[in-house]
Structure 1
């Protein structure tokens, strides 16, 4: 059966999705252009035509994954409900006990970003935009009188730092922290940052 001809944008997206899958399976250091090409049944030359080097492919794959994560986050935070409900939904989704996928991908990415400027820029941009979105909703809740938080930006930083740290524990060290306990800690941290009692969540 003949292979369907894809547009340039569709082909790039297909290659990026394949790269993400291979990074999650093999790790950034081990993944090769040939692995991505093989998954799709295309030539190495086609992958290189679109991305030129493995480093550019990896950076683009992380940026693609970041945009997907941010779109999901915006969907949760843009709902027509209270700021508290939106924040709780976002934390529950993002926490390593929730439905967010790709924690292995991001942990791999953080490690490689220490040495790769392009990936470091992509990771930093995702981090900045994630914190900005959470900060914005916390500020909305404060303005609406839903809760009290004197510094929404600092609260967003502390909250995301906790979630990132829990992700490392649950992803890298199986059994180190029970999932139910990690979820409880995330809920308690959110309540604490908003000046609420745990029962409010």
Structure 2
């Protein structure tokens, strides 16, 4: 195995471990040693790759988002635009254990962004990437003729806002909100704006 591959593998293990520890413990309580132990590396090696907790946190958030996007975009060329959009919407909610962990990371990001300007800017940039991810899926559907033309940015902002709102209620285990009702409500806006069937397609 080349040095470059080993380095990439080590970073992957560290970032995966960081996501787990931050989600379990909270950013304010984690110590670099805790992440190193979870990743199975020395603290010195962890500091070699990430010299501060703040850098580790932002890299972990980016890592989490990138992994979700890769999973959602699999075989994107062979499925309909509606299925791709439905996959994205499901990934924006805590629909499985991994996404539940991702949501805990987002909640840590929101809290930290309220107190730290650098984190606030990072959070805004991440939202811009999320917005573009949703918008690009909508644009592809419009370009292919599968979707009715609409204001892409307005719809994308609405979908992200709805996902955040319902996601928080789901994370709180609010008994009045279920994953099914949340997805149905969000998709209702998609179907109305894009001329799609009212039933969300299977992913």
TM over 0.5: same fold?
yes
2:49: which partner in 1? 50
SS at structure 2 position matched to 1:97: coil
2:144: which partner in 1? 144
Q: Cα 1:116–1:186, aligned 2, differ >3 Å: closer, same or farther?
A: same
Q: Cα 1:185–1:48, aligned 2, differ >3 Å: closer, same or farther?
A: same
Partners in 2 of 1:196 and 1:41 — Cα distance? 48
2:193 is equivalent to residue 189 of structure 1: no
Partners in 2 of 1:140 and 1:37 — Cα distance? 42
1:111: which partner in 2? 111
1:26: which partner in 2? 25
Partners in 1 of 2:125 and 2:152 — Cα distance? 19
Q: Deviations over 1:49-72 (max 9, x none)?
A: 221111111111112112212222
Q: Cα 1:118–1:18, aligned 2, differ >3 Å: closer, same or farther?
A: farther
Residue range with higher mean Cα deviation, 37-46 or 49-58:
37-46
2:159: which partner in 1? 159
How far did residue 18 of structure 1 move?
A: 0.9
The answer to whether the 8 Å contact 1:93/1:99 transfers is: no
Q: Deviations over 1:74-115 (max 9, x none)?
A: 336x33233223212322333333676121111212221233
2:128 is equivalent to residue 125 of structure 1: no
Q: Cα 1:199–1:56, aligned 2, differ >3 Å: closer, same or farther?
A: closer
The answer to whether the 8 Å contact 1:33/1:47 transfers is: yes
TM-score (norm 2): 0.81
Partners in 2 of 1:200 and 1:171 — Cα distance? 22
Q: Cα 1:41–1:73, aligned 2, differ >3 Å: closer, same or farther?
A: closer
1:94: which partner in 2? 92
2:134: which partner in 1? 134
Computed over aligned residues only, the root mean square deviation of the Cα atoms, in angstroms, reads 2.5
Partners in 2 of 1:116 and 1:73 — Cα distance? 31
Partners in 1 of 2:186 and 2:114 — Cα distance? 27
For structure 1, the 5+ residue unaligned runs are 1-5
Q: Deviations over 1:11-65 (max 9, x none)?
A: 2221111111101110111111121122244432322222111111111111211
For structure 2, the 5+ residue unaligned runs are none
Q: Cα 1:74–1:128, aligned 2, differ >3 Å: closer, same or farther?
A: farther
TM-score (norm 1): 0.82
